[in-house]
Amino acid sequence: MAIVEPVPLDDDVEVEAVAPAEAVDSHLAARLVAGDRDALAEMYRRWSSLVHTIALRSLANTADAEDVTQQVFVAAWSGRHTLRPDRGSPAAWLVGITKHRIADLHAQRARRARDLHAVATAAVVAPAVTVEDWADRLLLVHELERMGDPRAAILRLAFLEDQTHEQIADRLAMPLGTVKSHVRRGLLELRNRLKEVERVPSD
Amino acid sequence: MSHPTDEALADLVIGEPDPTVSEHVSSCPQCAATVAELRRARQLLRAVSQDPVATGGWATPGPSVWAAIEDGIDAAPATDSPELEAQVERGPDVEQGAGPAAGATTSADTPARTRARLRWTPAWAAGLAAASLLVGLGLGHQIWDGGTPAPSPTAVAPAPTVATASLDTLDTKQQDGRAVVVRTQQGLDLEVAPSSKLDPGNGYLEVWLINTDLKRMVSVGVLRPGESGRFTMSQRLMDQGYTIVDISVQQYNGSPLHSGHSLLRGQLTT
Ligand SMILES: [Zn+2]
């Protein structure tokens, strides 16, 4: 019988204490994957406004945005086996699904526009790049909201208010090194969320 | 030359640049891509303070949307079957490996009871909520069986064996247990039987299936010290190479990840 050497722990299995909010999210994700419908209801309570706001900003139409919100959660249920509770947040996963649905709707609108008015009106269709940005930007705002302090407070000062690390250290009476380390780790965390969105496959 | 750490790359973006790191990035596409991603994350937040959502201005969908979602789910075929085997088999082939193999179950379950039990938190996820796990263990293992003692494996007809593994200690390579994959009506079960009582110290024991690529792994459940465990797994996991059985000591720190501290391990062979 072959004995396997201890697993080299790569980035994905990095041993790091998980923030409580993250642990709660993974727990919720695991319940969804296991087929628990209450978990979907809970996800809807937590993230329907994130999904809906992204859709509304991208589509500029409440009825279409509600359609997308509905489709996203139905797709989340039927595609729950693609959620990976051990890798990343359910919010990022939902945002990934949202982006695909919105892109689909834009494509439909483009087709409809072509059918109705031929090529002349095709330029009316909103460029897809704004969808990307809205979705990702709103997800990051959401992440900042749920991140615990002091990291959230530090990141808000650093990124939203463009304060220097020294100013933040003064204001929060924290060592400069601690501030820098929170900004660094926080930025990496935000970037990871964006990568998770990217990983969600379109169906 | 080796790549700088992610932290060092982040420093470039948050205004603490190191000339050595900058120089590396200018000639390394991979690190340059990471820096671009970090920069984009930073950039996306720059104008946000003026946005209504920065002060809680999120839009809420109308009350009819949730009802429509429930209708959509009810209309979808076969969504109420929580058998993980079926789910995994049906699923599209997208990095499928880490679909968790669900909670522990026992061979004497009726299908109905198995279903009810699978609605419980998969045992591996239970480790996340350290408090509830502590309570569960304290109250007679309620996490996976609602307090019912697990029936003896001898009480049921022997199930066909699909694969077996000798579980050996990592330090001295002594055989100290066995793992068997058996076929059941629902799919595949993994039985894990250490020969001696494993010591979890202040933590608990968790069973994993590690991929033969030695990079990916899934948690299949929590093992009680001094007992055997039976867990749901799937043919898909086997096919994808999740065939190394591993028992680790995990701490109650809320981390869902492998602690890196394994006691026993063995390769399943058919
Ligand atoms: Zn590099």
Exposed/middle/buried for residue B262 (C-beta within 10 Å: 0-12, 13-18, 19+) = buried
Q: In sequence order, which residues have a C-beta less than 8 Å from that of residue B217 and are 6 or more positions away?
A: A7, A13, B98, B208, B209, B210, B211, B242, B246, B258
Work out how many domains chain A is built from and give that number: 1
Instruction: Provide ipTM, 2 decimals.
Output: 0.81
- The CATH number given to whatever domain includes residue A127 is 1.10.1740.10
d(CA A100, CA A76): 12
- Residues A11-38 have pLDDT tens digits of 333 333 445 677 788 889 999 999 999 9
The answer to whether the CB atoms of A74 and B72 lie below 8 A apart is yes
d(CA A48, CA B85): 30
**Residue A43 belongs to domain spanning:** 20-199
Number of A/B CB contacts below 8 angstroms equals 242
Mean pLDDT, chain B cut into blocks of 10 residues (270 residues total) = 91 90 94 94 84 85 94 68 35 35 36 32 36 29 31 52 90 89 81 90 82 76 82 79 87 69 90
A56, closest residue in chain B (CA to CA): B59
- Chain A positions touching B92 (Cβ under 8 A) are 79, 82, 201, 203
Q: In sequence order, which residues have a C-beta less than 8 Å from that of residue B181 and are 6 or more positions away?
A: B161, B162, B163, B164, B188, B189, B190, B191, B233, B238, B268
A 131-160 near B (Cβ less than 8 A)? 133, 136-138, 140-141, 144, 158-160
Task: Give the pTM.
Answer: 0.55
Handedness of CA B70, A64, A97, B47 (dihedral sign): negative
Phi, psi (5° rounding) for residue B266?
Answer: -165, 150
pLDDT over 60 (residue A65):
yes
Query: Can you list the domains of chain B with their CATH numbers?
Result: 2-144 (no CATH), 161-267 (2.60.40.200)
Residue A69 lies in a domain: yes
The answer to whether the CB atoms of A65 and B257 lie below 8 A apart is no
